[in-house]
Chains A and B, each alone.
Chain A
Amino acid sequence: MSVETQKGRQDTAALTAPAPAIELRGISKSFGPVQANKDIAIKVAKGTIHGIIGENGAGKSTLMSILYGFYKADKGEILINGDHTDIPDSQAAIAAGIGMVFQHFKLVENFTVLENVVLGAESGPMLRPSLSKARKLLTQLSDEYELSVDPDAKIEDLSVGHQQRVEILKALYRQADILILDEPTGVLTPAEADHLFRILEGLRAQGKTIILITHKLREIMEITDTVSVMRRGQMTATVKTAETNPEQLAELMVGRKVLLQVDKAPAKLGDPILEVENLSVVDGDGVERVKGINFNVRAGEILGIAGVSGNGQSELLEVLAGYGKGTGTIRMNGDTLDLTGTKSDAKTRRKQGIAHVPEDRHAEGLILDFEAWENTALGYIDDPAYNRGLLMDNAAIRKDTEEKMERFDVRPPNPRLAAKNFSGGNQQKIVLAREIERNPDLLLIGQPTRGVDIGAIEFIHKQIVALRDQGKAIILVSVELEEIFSLSDRIAVMFDGHIMGERNPADTDEKELGLLMAGMTTEGA
Chain B
Amino acid sequence: MRTGTRRLSGLIALAAATTLAVGACGTDGGSDAGKPSFSEGFAECEAKPNECNSGERKQGGTIVFAVNRGVQNWNQFSGDGNLVETVLILNTVIPSPFIFLPDGKIQQTELITEAKITSESPQTIVYKINPNAKWDDGTPITADDFTMMWKFQNGKDCPKCNVAGTTGFELISSITGADSGKTVTVTYSSPYPDWQGLFALMPAHVGKKAAGGDLNTPAALEKAFNSFTAQPTWSGWAYKIDKVVKDVQVEVVPNPQWYGSTKPTLDRIIFKMITDQKQNVPALQNKEINGFTAQPSSDMVTQVKNLAPGVNYEMTGGAVWEHIDVNVKNKYLADQKLREAIFTAISVQDIIQKTMSFWPGAKMLGSHNLLPGTPGYEDIVKKVAPDQGSGNIEKAKQILTEAGYKDVGTALKTPSGEAVPELRFLYREGIQTRLQTGELVQAALAKLGLKIKIEATANLSDTLDTYNYDLIIFAWSGNPLLSSNKDLWTTGAGNNKLGWGDPESDRILAEMAKTLDSAKQRQLLNQQDEIMTKAAVVLPLFAKPNLLALSSDYINIRDNNQGSYVTYNVENWGQKKAQ
Q: Do A and B come from one complex?
A: no
Chain A interface residues (CB < 8 Å from chain B): none
Chain B interface residues (CB < 8 Å from chain A): none
